[in-house]
Structure 1
Amino acid sequence: MQTRRFDGTLNPFNNQPYSKQYRGILRNRKELPIYAHMTANQIMIVVGETGSGKTTQIPQLVCHLDVPHSRGKIVACTQPRRIAAMSVAKRVADEMDLTLGKEVGYSVRFDDMTEPGTTFLKYMTDGMLLREAMSDPDLSRYSTVILDEAHERTLATDILMGLLKDVTKRRPDLRLIITSATLDTHKFQQYFGTDEHSLAPLFVIQGRTHPVEVIHAQEQEPDYITDAIRTVLRIHRMEGEGDILLFLTGQEEVDNACKGIMTGAQDLLKQNPSAVGPLVCIPLYASLDAEQQERVFDPPPPRRNPGGPAGRKVVVSTNIAETSTTVDGIVYVVDSGVSKQSVYNPRIRVESLSVSPISKASAKQRAGRAGRTKPGKCFRLYTEKEFKAFKDQDPPGILRGNLDSTVLALVKIGTRDLVQFDYIDSPAPETLPRALATLNYLGALDNEGDLTVLGITMAELPLDPQLAKALVVSPEFGCSVEILTIVSMLSVPNVWVRPTNQRLEADRARASLTIPDGDHLTLLNVYDKWVRNSRRSNWSWNNYVSQRSLLEAEQARCQLESLMIRFDIELVSAGKGPGLHKRVREALACGFFMQVAHKEGRAYVTVKDNQKVFIHPSCGLGDKPEWVLFNEFVLTSRPFIRTVTAIDPEWLLGEAASYYDIDNWKDGEAKRSLMRTRNQLPTQTSGHSSEG
C-alpha cells in the first residue's frame, strides 16, 4: 500500500500548489490516531458524532494513504440520501482544491458528476453502488468502500454490507470502512468479525460538542406545527444569540411553517422593533435543488443597528438534518418528535408514508445538533413520558421496506439462495416469498427463480420493477415514447406547486392541464406542453408546476432513453390520434396490474387484498371509473390511492392472466365484474406477465 507524506507543497492529485488553508488541514490530519489504525485493518468500524468530520475527512485521509488514482482505482463513499452525496462532494472538492465532477465527483440516480479515468473520490447513494454491483460483483473499480451513516440501516446499505463482507474475502486489496453516528455498533463489529468470537476493530472519533439542555413539554399540544411555530418565535423573542433548527415531517409542513414563522417575526418586529433582531427562515428537504439547499450554510442576517439585537437564521427541515447535513451556528433545536416514514405492506403490495413518532436514537441525534459551536438547548414538543415510550432505534429498512427491487438486484448479482444470504438482520418471513411472487407475476423471474430475458432488461433499468416492466413492454402497444415520459415524470419530486396563498389559482391551472382519463396522462400532457413552450420557466411559473422537477424529468428521460437504445427497446410514439390514451393506459396496466382497485359504492377496494381505499382529492379523474390502477398508497386521515388512471378490466385478464385467475377467487363484486367481462371476450389472450 502506498502512503504519502503530508508536508509537501504540491497536491499529488493534480500537481498544483496546495492552498495555505489546505496545507494546515494536512498537517493536522497526519496527527490523527485514525491514521495508523487505517493502515493496519482491511475492515474497520468508525464511530463519530454527526459533525465530527467522518464524512468529509475520512475519505480524504484514505485518498492520501492509498493514492488510488495512481492505480486507476476509486474511493467510494456511500450516502443514504442524494442531498448528502451531492453537497458533501462539492464541499470536499473545494477543501481539496480540486474540481467537482473531475477528481472528486458524485453519482446519484439520473445525475452522474464523474469523469471516467479522472475521478478517484466518488460520493454516491448506496443504491447506486448496489446497481454497480449487479454488473461488477467484485466492485473491481474500487480500492476502498466507505459505507457512511450505516446506523440509518437503509435497505441498500444493509444489502451492501452483506455483499461487501463476501467481496473482502475474495479481494484482500479492498478496504471497507463502516461509519456510524451512534455508539450502538456492537452488531456491526460482530457481523464483520473474522469468526463468532472476534470483533471487527472499532475506532471512535471524539466529537467537539458542547452540553445541550433538553427541555420537554409539560403536555403535548394536538397541533404540533402550530406549537412548533410558537416555540420558534418564543426562542427568537426570549433567548440569546444563535440560530434555530426546527424538525418537521415533510415539504408541505416545512413550507407552511416557514410562512408562519416569518409572519410571526414581522408581528414581533412591529410590536417592539428594538427587542428582536432580523430573522430569515430557510426550508430544507430532499427535493430542493442543490442551490437552494446551500442556503442553509448562509450566515444569519446582520444587525439592523450597531448594538441592536443580533440577526437569527431558522432552518426548518425534515429529518435529513439529523445526519446528512451539518449546519454550523445552530444553538437551539425544536424537535416535533415525529417524522414521515415509509412502511411497506407485503399483503397489499403497497408502500405507504405515514407520520410516526421518532426513536430515542433520532431524538438524541436531533438534540446533538444544538451543541456544535456552543452550549445549546433542545426544546422537545413532547413530554418526558412520551419520550420514554419511543423505540430505542428505528427499525432497519429491510424490516419495513419493499424488497422487490432488492431481490431483483440480488438475483442479477448471482445470489442463488435468498434465504441464506448473509443479512445483518433477516427480513420478515413473508416479504421474500412475496417479492419473488411479484417478480414472477411481472415476468422478471421464471418459476425456478431465474431471471428471464425480460427480467435481465428490467434489472438494468434504475426503476421500480412495475415501472421497468411498463417501459420494456411499451413498444408492443406503440407508445414507448409516451411511457418513457411518464416514467421519467414519476421518478422526480412532485411536479405540482400549490402555494398556501395561491391555492385557488394553482388548482385552476392544474385543472386546465388535467386529462380526465388519468393522472399518468396528465403528467404526459404537462411535460409535452412544457417542451412545446420551449421549456421556458415562465410557462412553469404561470401554470404552477415546478421548473426544477421538469428539468430533472428531462435529465432522467435522457438517461432512460440511452438505456432503451442500449437494450434495443424500440422508441415508437402513439402519435396524436384517438387511440393514444388507450394504448398508454394499457401499457401501464402491464406494470401495475397488482395495484388495481374496483369501485364499490363510494369507495374503491383493492383487488385480491380487499383493502378499502379512497381516491386522493388531488387526483384529476373525471367520472369515477369502475376500475383504476394506482401508483401510490397514502395513509393520512384515511387510506388514499394517488396518481390514478382508469383501465378496462379485459386488459387485466389478457396481460395478467396468471395473476387474475378469478376462478379461484372468493366471491365478491370484483370477481363478478371480471367474470362478466371474461364471458364477453371472444377469445382468451395470454399476456406478458407470466411468460416473461
Structure 2
Amino acid sequence: MSEENNPAETAEVCAEDVDCPGEEAFGFGDDLELNQFDGLPFSSRYYKLLKERKTLPVWKLRCEFEEALVSNQLVIVSGTAKTGRSTQIPQWCAELCLSAQYQHGMVVCTQTNRQQAVDLALRVADEMDVNIGHEVGYTIPLETCCSSDTVLRYCTDDMLLREMMSDPFLEHYGAIIIDQAHERTVSTDILLGLLKDILLQRPELRVVVLAVQPMTDKLLKRYGSIPLINLEASCPAEVVHSSSHNKDYFYSALRLVLEIHRAKEDGDVVVFFASDEEARCAQSILQREGTRLGADLGEMVPVVLCPGQGGLLAFLTKQPDSKTSRRVFLSTQQGVDMCWAIESLNFVIDTGVQKKMVYNPRIRANFEVLEPISQCQAGLRKQLSGPTEESQLPAENTPQILESNITPTALFLKRMEIAGLGQCDFIDRPDPEGLMQALEELDYLAALDNDGNLSEIGIIMSEIPLEPQMAKALLASCEFDCVSEMLTIAAMLSAPSCFLKPPAGLSHEAVQCHRKFQHPEGDHFTLINIYNVFRQSQREQYINSEKWCQDYFLDHSALKKAEAIRSELTDTLNRIELPISDPSFGTRTNTLNLKRALLAGFFMQIARDVDGAGNYFILTHKHMAQVHPHSGYGAQSQKLGLPEWVVFHEYTLSENNYMRTVSEMSPQVFIQMAPLYFFYNLPPSESKEILQGLLDPDGNRKRKDEKQKAASLSSEAGSGCAVMPQSYDRCVIQ
C-alpha cells in the first residue's frame, strides 16, 4: 500500500488521543469539520455516533490495529460482534485506502448472511455520515446498492467469489475484510484458500480476517508470524445452559422461559434452538401459554429471529413497548450475530444442539443430523458453562466444505485455474471421495475435456449462477427451444418454496387450492403454471397479487424472489449471447423438449416404481424412495396412479427417503439424453436391464446368453466376471 498522503485527508483521533506509529503516512490524524469521503461538512449526528463508537471495545485497540495494518499484509482480529469489529475496522481500512488515494483499490467486507451485509452497510453509512449506495454500499444476491463513488462495500462471501470470475486477483480492492471466518462456510473457506496465493501476487494488498477462537489459532498456525489482535466484549446477560444430552431439550428450554417470566426479572430473553422449524413451533406454544398467564406478570412477546428479515436491526434495538412487556427472541445459530443489537437482553437459553444437512457423495443426497454445537458456537452464544459441559462439545465448527456437495466448488476452482490462480490452499481439504464424485459429475455433464480441464460447455456453465446440473439443463434448453420455460423452472427451484404451510384446520383448503395448478406431466410443469398465473395476477389491475397469493396459500415473497432470479438469469444468457426462445408452454412439442432439457442435466436423478405402489428404485445408488406428500403426484396418486419412470430434483434421506419436485419421464428420452459412459457405469439392476433392452433390443438378448455362458465358465474356472469397458460416446448435448 502506497505511503503517499494528502494532509487534507485525515481521520478521527485514536481512542486515547495518542500518536499511532505510521498514522501520518496513512492519513490517521485529527478530526476535521469536512468529511474526508465526500467533502461535505459533518452533521451533528456524526459527532453523536462518534461518541458512541469510541465506547466500543474495538476502539481501545485502534492504534494497535492501524500499526499492524501498515506493516503487514495480513492481520487477524479475534472478537465477537459486540466489540464493534464489523463496523469500525472496515471504516479504518477505508481511511487507509483513501490515504493512498485508492491507487490500489477500494475496501470490501464479506458477510455470511445477506441481511447482515445490508444492515451493516446502513449502519456504517450512518456512522461515516455519507449516503448509502454512494460512498458506502452493499452487494447481495439479486440486489446491488453501489455506485462509482463507493469506497467501502459490504457483500456476501459468495458474491465476492463470483466477482473473481472477472477479476481473479481482486485488483479492484486495496483491502479485503473476511468477517465471520469461524462460520466456515464453503465460500469463506475458498476465499481464504485463494487469498494466500493472491497475497503473493499483490504485495500492496491488505487482508483482515475477523474470527473467534479456535479459528484464530488455526489461522496463526497456517500463516505463521502475523499479528493477532484480541478484542473482549462485556457480557451482561445471564446464560442458562440446557444440556444437549437432554432428549427433551426443546420443552426444557420453553419451561425455562416461563420460569424466568414468572420470576418477574427484567430483561428480554434469547433462546437458541436446533432449527427454524423448532423456533416457529416454540413461538406458537409460547403465544398460547402467554394467554394463560396472569395479567400481573406482564405481556410475553415471542419473536422468531430470522436472519432474512428486513428492518430487523431497528426492531432489535428498540426497547419493549412497556416496562411489563418481555420479548422472547427465538433463534438458531444463524441469528447469533444479530443478538448484539438487543440492548435489553438479560437472559440467554442455549439448547446446545443444532440440526444440519450433511451431503453423502456416494448416494448424491442430503440427510438431516442432530448434533451438539461446538465450543466455538457456545462461546458466541455467551455460553459460559463450566469445563464439564464444554468438554462434551467439539472444539470448533465443522467446515461446511466437508459436509456439502462440492460439485459447484470444483467447477469454480477449475475456472480459477484458467484465470491463472494456483491450487486452492484449503484450510481443511475436502473429502477425497466427495472431490472425486464432484469431478465425475462434471465429466458426466461434459463440463471437462479429455485432459480434465474445463471444456467450452464447462466455461459457459461456470458463468451461470446455478448448480451445475441446472446450468446444464438451461444450456440444453437453448438447443431444444424451451429456454423461457426452463428459466422459470430454474428460478422457482432456486427460490424458497412457494407453498405456504396452511394454518391449523385449513390443510384441506390449501390442498384444493394447490391442486388447481397441478400439471399432469409433473411438479416441474406445475411450477411453471404457478409462476405464469402469478405473473398474470400482477398484470391485472383489479387483482392484488399479495392477496391473491394469500388466498391460494402461496408465498408472495418467494414468488417475487423467483421473479428476480429469473430476470438475473435472463440477463446472464443475454450477456453470454445465448438464444432465448419464445414461450410455447402447453404444446406437446414444448413438453417433450422440456423433458429432454431436464434430463440433459438431471439424468443422474432418475427412479422407477418397481411395484406400482409408489416405491421408487433410484438407479444411481440402488436406494428406495417415495414421492414427497406435497408433490402433485402425492395428491393425484389415488385417482390417476403414479408414473413408472420419474426424474426428480432433490432426494433427502429421512424417515421415508423422499424425492421432491418429481416429473414423469420416458425411458426412451432418458436413453437419448444420458451419456452412454454414465449409463454403463450404473450399478446392475432390473431397471438398468429394461433400459438396456430399449437401447439395443437384439444385443440385449445376446448379452444375456453371453452372461449365462460367462457365469458357467466362471463357476468352472473360479474366475471373476468381465469388466465393462469404460470408453463410450459422450452425451448428445455437448
TM (norm. structure 2) is 0.84
Of 617, 639, 656, the residue aligned with 2:629 is 617
3-state DSSP of counterpart to 1:533 = helix
Are the structure 2 counterparts of residues 642 and 316 from structure 1 closer, same or farther at C-alpha, using a change threshold of 3 Å?
A: same
2:122 corresponds to which residue?
90
Of 307, 318, 331, the residue aligned with 1:298 is 318
Q: Which amino acid aligns with 2:364?
A: R
Are the structure 2 counterparts of residues 330 and 646 from structure 1 closer, same or farther at C-alpha, using a change threshold of 3 Å?
A: farther
Cα distance between partner residues in 1 of 2:35 and 2:475: 47
1:277 corresponds to which residue?
298
Matches within 5 A, 1:159-174: 159-174=190-205
Deviation at residue 144 of structure 1 after TM alignment = 0.6
Are the structure 2 counterparts of residues 219 and 384 from structure 1 closer, same or farther at C-alpha, using a change threshold of 3 Å?
A: farther
Cα distance between partner residues in 1 of 2:181 and 2:447: 30
- 1:604 equivalenced with 2:616 (yes/no): yes
Are the structure 2 counterparts of residues 633 and 97 from structure 1 closer, same or farther at C-alpha, using a change threshold of 3 Å?
A: farther
Q: Which amino acid aligns with 1:234?
A: E
Deviation at residue 366 of structure 1 after TM alignment = 1.9
Report if the CA contact (8 A) 1:250-1:285 is conserved.
no
Cα distance between partner residues in 2 of 1:243 and 1:54: 24
Cα distance between partner residues in 2 of 1:518 and 1:90: 44
Are the structure 2 counterparts of residues 30 and 366 from structure 1 closer, same or farther at C-alpha, using a change threshold of 3 Å?
A: closer
Report if the CA contact (8 A) 1:83-1:324 is conserved.
no
Cα distance between partner residues in 1 of 2:595 and 2:434: 29
Deviation at residue 482 of structure 1 after TM alignment = 0.8
Report if the CA contact (8 A) 2:242-2:349 is conserved.
no
Cα distance between partner residues in 2 of 1:298 and 1:351: 39
Report if the CA contact (8 A) 2:355-2:369 is conserved.
yes
- Runs of 4 or more off by more than 6 Å in structure 1? 383-387, 415-419
Are the structure 2 counterparts of residues 500 and 257 from structure 1 closer, same or farther at C-alpha, using a change threshold of 3 Å?
A: farther
2:686 corresponds to which residue?
669
Are the structure 2 counterparts of residues 233 and 500 from structure 1 closer, same or farther at C-alpha, using a change threshold of 3 Å?
A: farther
Deviation at residue 147 of structure 1 after TM alignment = 0.7
Of 145, 152, 166, the residue aligned with 1:135 is 166
3-state DSSP of counterpart to 2:81 = coil
Q: Which moved more, 1:125-134 or 1:582-591?
A: 582-591
Are the structure 2 counterparts of residues 69 and 680 from structure 1 closer, same or farther at C-alpha, using a change threshold of 3 Å?
A: farther
Q: Which amino acid aligns with 1:120?
A: V
- 1:447 equivalenced with 2:479 (yes/no): no
Deviation at residue 239 of structure 1 after TM alignment = 4.8
Of 8, 11, 23, the residue aligned with 2:35 is 11
Q: Which amino acid aligns with 1:11?
A: N
1:351 corresponds to which residue?
366
Cα distance between partner residues in 2 of 1:326 and 1:213: 14
1:498 corresponds to which residue?
501
3-state DSSP of counterpart to 1:364 = helix
Report if the CA contact (8 A) 2:447-2:461 is conserved.
yes
3-state DSSP of counterpart to 2:530 = helix
Cα distance between partner residues in 2 of 1:385 and 1:582: 62
Q: Deviations over 1:123-171 (max 9, x none)?
A: 1111111111122111010111111111111111111112111111111
3-state DSSP of counterpart to 2:689 = helix
Q: Which runs of 5+ in 1 are unaligned?
A: 194-198, 304-309, 369-376
3-state DSSP of counterpart to 1:134 = coil
3-state DSSP of counterpart to 1:320 = helix
Deviation at residue 667 of structure 1 after TM alignment = 3.4
Are the structure 2 counterparts of residues 506 and 327 from structure 1 closer, same or farther at C-alpha, using a change threshold of 3 Å?
A: farther
Report if the CA contact (8 A) 1:85-1:124 is conserved.
yes
1:456 corresponds to which residue?
459
3-state DSSP of counterpart to 1:51 = helix
Deviation at residue 397 of structure 1 after TM alignment = 1.6
Deviation at residue 251 of structure 1 after TM alignment = 3.5
Report if the CA contact (8 A) 1:256-1:500 is conserved.
no
Cα distance between partner residues in 2 of 1:604 and 1:390: 39
Deviation at residue 479 of structure 1 after TM alignment = 0.9
RMSD in angstroms over aligned alpha carbons? Answer: 2.9
1:577 corresponds to which residue?
587
Q: Deviations over 1:502-560 (max 9, x none)?
A: 33332322222222322222221111101111162111111111111111111111111
Of 67, 78, 82, the residue aligned with 2:98 is 67
Of 341, 344, 348, the residue aligned with 1:327 is 341
Are the structure 2 counterparts of residues 507 and 292 from structure 1 closer, same or farther at C-alpha, using a change threshold of 3 Å?
A: farther
1:588 corresponds to which residue?
598
- 1:231 equivalenced with 2:249 (yes/no): no
3-state DSSP of counterpart to 2:411 = helix
3-state DSSP of counterpart to 1:468 = helix
3-state DSSP of counterpart to 1:326 = helix
- 1:313 equivalenced with 2:335 (yes/no): no
Cα distance between partner residues in 1 of 2:198 and 2:128: 30
Deviation at residue 589 of structure 1 after TM alignment = 1.4
Of 335, 348, 355, the residue aligned with 1:340 is 355
3-state DSSP of counterpart to 1:500 = coil
Cα distance between partner residues in 2 of 1:555 and 1:69: 38
Deviation at residue 5 of structure 1 after TM alignment = 2.5
- Tell which structure's C-alpha radius of gyration is larger: 2
Report if the CA contact (8 A) 1:221-1:227 is conserved.
no
Report if the CA contact (8 A) 2:283-2:330 is conserved.
yes
3-state DSSP of counterpart to 1:209 = coil
3-state DSSP of counterpart to 2:82 = coil
TM (norm. structure 1) is 0.89
Q: Which amino acid aligns with 2:665?
A: I
Matched residues, number: 659
Are the structure 2 counterparts of residues 293 and 525 from structure 1 closer, same or farther at C-alpha, using a change threshold of 3 Å?
A: farther
Are the structure 2 counterparts of residues 690 and 22 from structure 1 closer, same or farther at C-alpha, using a change threshold of 3 Å?
A: farther
Report if the CA contact (8 A) 2:50-2:127 is conserved.
no
Identity of aligned residues (%): 33
1:154 corresponds to which residue?
185
1:306 corresponds to which residue?
none
Deviation at residue 183 of structure 1 after TM alignment = 4.5
Cα distance between partner residues in 2 of 1:129 and 1:218: 36
Cα distance between partner residues in 2 of 1:211 and 1:244: 9
